[in-house]
């Protein structure tokens, strides 16, 4: 999937996204939705983008479970 963001927009988005990471590496869903909305507006994207299109914690959850053993 390509979002066709220029480097500046992508860098600014990443900088903001990193701020909301939690200690276990997850991001609250409402924070992801806010970022999606902002990026869509900046990039003038018309289509909807769901959180599940961007976030998949399956591997992270496996690693965290393994670390607890």
Question: What's the average pLDDT block by block, 10 residues per block, for the chain (69 residues)?
Answer: 82 84 85 91 91 93 92
Query: Global pTM?
Result: 0.60
> What torsion do the CA atoms of 28, 32, 34, 38 make, to the nearest 10 degrees?
160
pLDDT for residue 25 = 84
Question: What letter would DSSP give residue 34?
Answer: H
Cβ atoms of 17 and 36 closer than 8 Å: no
Distance CA 65, CA 46 (A): 38
């Amino acid at each position: 999937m390509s979002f066709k963001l220029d480097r500046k927009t992508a860098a600014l988005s990443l900088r903001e996204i990193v701020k909301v990471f939690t200690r276990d590496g997850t991001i609250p869903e409402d924070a992801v939705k806010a970022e999606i909305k902002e990026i869509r507006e900046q990039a003038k994207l018309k289509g909807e983008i769901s959180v599940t299109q961007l976030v998949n914690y399956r591997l992270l959850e496996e690693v965290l479970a393994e670390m607890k053993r």
